[in-house]
Structure 1
Amino acid sequence: MSDDRAVTDDASPEETTAEGLLSVADLDAGYGDLQILSAVDLAVGAGEYVTIVGPNGAGKSTVMKAVFGLATYMDGAIAFDGEDISGLAPEEVIHRGVSYVPQNENVFAGLSVRENLEMGAYILDSVPEDRLESVFERFPILDERQSQRAGTLSGGQRQMLAMGRALMLDPELLLLDEPSAGLAPDLVDEMFDRIDAINDAGTAILMVEQNAMEALERCDRGYVLVQGQNRFTDTGEALLGDEEVRREFLGG
């Protein structure tokens, strides 16, 4: 890779993508008084697929939670669709057009599949049937198991349900935290294929993923975080081809 790769300590989100949907600049965030992120920059363009990778404890999920209002905002700027959302509560961020799928406890185990999906539309006056049908078309297994309790689904099916519920509001940006975590190896590619299809349909994706090789192969752009700070930013292809990135973060 050439020497002009983007190292985001020097690059602003505005420089990273021409049509910024999400723009994060100089973000400090953490939990309570514990600071995890320091001057993090990140951007997601309209319809773009962006992934965050890095070692355990790098602050990857904290970036996502800070955007969604689940981490403690300390300093910097978070803008979505040109409006400042720094420090807003999750219920306010949802109304702006952002949906979030956490890694753990991402379904209501005691509710049916259909009830889970209906919960995804809780901010609306009524459940839009066309959105339900769209989710069922995207995830046919959920249609087949509408009345089944979510807690009895397989890991892959629960992840599909969590994503389907997040899509009930037809978000402009979908935040995915470790979507392949805990899945059997033969289901990982299928899950990534489904994420590709969501993005191909026009929804921007910001994803945190430990399966860095697979994520970078599929995304438009990637960020490598280390100890709560930006280390590298570039296209997924360029990061995969960078010897230092491969040696330090991708296993050689």
Structure 2
Amino acid sequence: MLAVDALDAGYGDFQVLYDVDLTVDEGEYVTIVGPNGAGKSTVMKSVFGLTTYMGGRVEFQGAEISGLRPEEIITHGIGYVPQNDNVFGSLTVRENLEMGAYILDEVPQESLEAVFDKFPILEERQDQKAGSMSGGQQQMVAMGRALMLEPDLLLLDEPSAGLAPDLVDEMFDRVDVINESGTAILMVEQNAKEALRRCDRGYVLVQGRNRYEDDGQALLADEQVRRDFLGG
């Protein structure tokens, strides 16, 4: 479904990614891990058109999206949840979710109901200002908003960042539910062990280049990967 081939990308004149390859199949759950500064989030942003495209090719559902703007890419069926500042704090939960369908003439009620089904607390608190919610609840709002257009692929950039330890498992459970509903996941995650434990396949990125690729359990079992990137 998603094919990234020999991607070079960065910010302005500063190149971060070198010859990166990556694929996500329909309904698959793929995780990118690696050390800080490896370019993990840059891969995610590059797929969504938020970096400077320098070469290579990105295809989605057989159509090239390399170099397209985010407002064009979203219409192809890709949703994106950034790591930081990912809710409109002064808007209510319901208004945040409705913003996820801004490109449509009207908000699809069936999509809203589907989000409430995945995140029941958002229905309970739909009139609450998003900025007054906990970090974990705000992350649910951000994911719910990205799901309003029923994307085929959801990009998640460090969804557990800043969450209290007791909320991290709940966040991963929510991602599992989204994936089990048929949405493919491409996720960058700091909690590498848990992410690899749950995903179908994983990529290890180092200094902007592919280092390892395998199914999640195989990467967890690889002694070199564990020693160099997973803390033993």
- TM-score past 0.5 threshold: yes
Cα separation, 1, equivalents of 2:84 and 2:129: 17
* Matched residue, 1:106: 86
Structure 2 counterpart of 1:117, which letter? L
* Matched residue, 1:226: 206
Deviations 1:117-139 (A, max 9, x none): 00000011100011111111111
Cα separation, 2, equivalents of 1:63 and 1:152: 31
* Matched residue, 1:166: 146
Cα separation, 2, equivalents of 1:39 and 1:132: 39
Q: Among 170, 184, 204, which residue is 2:184 paired with? A: 204
Structure 1 counterpart of 2:33, which letter? V
Aligned-residue offset at 1:251: 0.2
Aligned-residue offset at 1:208: 0.2
| Counterpart mapping for 1:1-252 below 5 A | 21-252=1-232
Aligned-residue offset at 1:25: 0.5
- Scaled by the length of structure 1, the TM-score of the pair is 0.92
Cα separation, 2, equivalents of 1:196 and 1:186: 17
Structure 1 counterpart of 2:177, which letter? A
CA RMSD between the two structures? 0.4
Aligned-residue offset at 1:38: 0.2
Cα separation, 1, equivalents of 2:159 and 2:97: 18
Aligned-residue offset at 1:80: 0.2
Structure 2 counterpart of 1:148, which letter? Q
Aligned-residue offset at 1:168: 0.2
Deviations 1:7-27 (A, max 9, x none): xxxxxxxxxxxxxx0000000
Cα separation, 1, equivalents of 2:118 and 2:20: 34
Cα separation, 1, equivalents of 2:115 and 2:44: 24
Cα separation, 2, equivalents of 1:119 and 1:154: 20
- Scaled by the length of structure 2, the TM-score of the pair is 1.00
Cα separation, 2, equivalents of 1:134 and 1:236: 29
Q: Which runs of 5+ in 2 are unaligned?
A: none
Q: Secondary structure at the match of 1:124?
A: coil
Aligned residues: 232
Structure 1 runs, 4 residues or longer, greater than 3 Å off: none
Q: Secondary structure at the match of 1:61?
A: helix
Structure 2 counterpart of 1:86, which letter? S
Percent of aligned pairs sharing the same letter: 74
Deviations 1:10-50 (A, max 9, x none): xxxxxxxxxxx000000000000000000000000000000
Structure 2 counterpart of 1:132, which letter? L
Aligned-residue offset at 1:157: 0.2
Q: Which runs of 5+ in 1 are unaligned?
A: 1-20
Q: Secondary structure at the match of 2:151?
A: coil
Q: Secondary structure at the match of 1:87?
A: coil
Cα separation, 2, equivalents of 1:127 and 1:219: 32
Structure 2 counterpart of 1:180, which letter? S
Aligned-residue offset at 1:92: 0.4
Cα separation, 2, equivalents of 1:199 and 1:148: 27
Cα separation, 1, equivalents of 2:221 and 2:125: 42
Q: Secondary structure at the match of 1:171?
A: coil
